A = this chain, B = another copy of it.
Amino acid sequence: MNPDPSRSQLKIRRVHLDTGRENVVVISRRSKALRADIFRGFSRVELRLDDKTLLATLLITDDDALAAQDEIGLSEPAFRRFGKPVGTLVTVAPASPPESLEAVRAKIRGRTLDKAEIGAIINDLAHFRYSDMEIAAFLIGSASFITSDELLALTGAMAQVGTQLIWPDPIVVDKHCIGGIPGNRTSMVVVPIVAAHGLPIPKTSSRAITSPAGTADTMEVLARVNVGVEEMKSIVSSCNGCLIWGGHVNLSPADDVLISVERPLSLDTREQMVASIMSKKIAAGSTHLLIDIPVGPTAKVTTAIDAMRLRKLFEFVGDRFGRSVEVITTDGRQPIGSGIGPVLEANDVMAVLGNEADAPHDLREKSLRLAAHLLEYDPKLRGGAGYARARELLESGAALKQMQKIIDAQGPSTCSTDLGPISFDVRAAHDGVVSAIDCLRLNRLARTAGAPLDKGAGIRLFKKIGDRVEQGEPLYRVYTFDGPEHDLAVSAARQETGYMLNGREALQGGTQS
């Protein structure tokens, strides 16, 4: 009297469809499994084989090339995560929503969640059991209001669900910038300085999602960054630091899932940001943390009041998790350094580390300031001596040497360091002083030019705020690899340069030479 199991057994087929984070599977409209009616009214299914299960969103097809009558087509992420070969028989059943979704619905109705409920939600998120819609439900249910206890529970659960790094040292420092400022590659200067001093600083970074370069994209110009946990530990043990991509280390994987829905919805709440950053840093085993909040009209944080609110949240969460957290606000009115795009930014970093005469002064000064804060965490260093020590390590070449050591340990880059061969200059249409630079606009322009996929595409800035410019003088140069990208970038720059001269758009009232 047991239901015939052959009805719901289908053969795995691989469908070369990149469905992003979401598991998607395809079943034929003529499938026996569908005919048995178990899927009617359901849009989510569960695949089972031995003790392996996978929740996925179901699409129906009339095309045997995607799934024949006795097959189930697994999209790329579903195939990868289920990890069974093509042709394997798998049991397919309608999936009930994850139990933790009941808590999400309670949150939407206005109830406060307890630690166990939040833990269950985060666990299901990290194991890809939520559909995009369900993730959106959790994010938006939490967006309107979240208590301090919920924020702590969220941060803790997110930190615990993936890899948790443990270091032998009593002090493990880290820095993090909340992002948004083009060219802001201070980590690549700060890490070698701090590591040269002897403090462990195991830095993992993200790749660009909406920006033209993440620290991982830029470091990749100089060294391999796809490094796993064990290798990371060995690099940090020999070099005191590393500059790797976080993707292979799996810190706070629920955060990556949440971000995959936050971005397309442009949801950006302070609490989510703090839980996201702090969960990754706690999982990374950092004990002493420096947070950089750039403030400026086109930065993520636009007012000092907002920066202070955010600072207090970071401090609160840090304190409750027993981490030393220092939060500083920095000048976010314009890009840092002269390059935007992986190769151009890597050049800036190496110029600063090499103490070259034309190295960007702002990147050097900001990096020294951040490094100084981190060095002050060293109990052996005399209070107030951080900045001088940072400068000494930079000017002596010790930081550069440490960077070379880290690069050697991570292994050689496979990327070309060539700049895009097709370039154009954007020139001022009238005399004036640079009064504003739009970070968002330049980020978009650098992406249009091809960054970060084309490592050598991007923008080199010739002028910063306060600089005098004469009519016809170049403000910046855009590098591309390809005629059409060049044309798109020219057209975008003509529409709006991102530069204001004396409060007026730089191209207004003149002609481009």
Contact = CB atoms under 8 A, between A and B. Distances in A.
A36 B108 contact: no
B63 A16 contact: yes
Nearest to A43: B264
A379 interface: no
A230 interface: no
Interface in A106-136: 108-110, 131-136
A109 B2 contact: no
A236 to B, nearest CB: 31
A128 to B, nearest CB: 16
A463 to B, nearest CB: 24
A16 B105 contact: no
A300 interface: no
Interface residues of A, number: 68
A166 interface: no
Nearest to A41: B210
Contacts of A415: none
A132 B134 contact: no
A143 interface: yes
Contacts of A17: 26, 59-61, 63, 66
A209 B487 CA distance: 50
Interface stretch (A305-313, A344-352, A445-453): A445-453
Interface in A1-58: 1-4, 7, 15-20, 26, 29, 35-38, 40-41, 43-44
Contacts of A467: none
A485 B267 contact: no
A99 interface: no
Interface string A50-89: 0000000001111101100000000000000000000000
A357 interface: no
Nearest to A20: B43
Nearest to A36: B484
Contact of A4 (B62, B267, B484): B484
Interface string A428-450: 00000000000000000001101
A490 interface: yes
A488 interface: yes
Name which of A62, A137, A490 has the most chain B CB atoms within 10 A of its CB.
A137
Nearest to A29: B18
14 contacts: A16-B63, A17-B60, A17-B61, A35-B482, A36-B488, A41-B208, A41-B210, A44-B264, A66-B66, A105-B265, A108-B143, A133-B264, A133-B265, A144-B144
Interface of A: 1-4, 7, 15-20, 26, 29, 35-38, 40-41, 43-44, 59-63, 65-66, 97, 101, 105, 108-110, 131-137, 140-141, 143-144, 208-210, 261, 263-267, 447-448, 450, 453-454, 482-485, 487-488, 490-491, 494
3 closest Cβ pairs, A-B complex: A16-B63, A18-B60, A136-B136
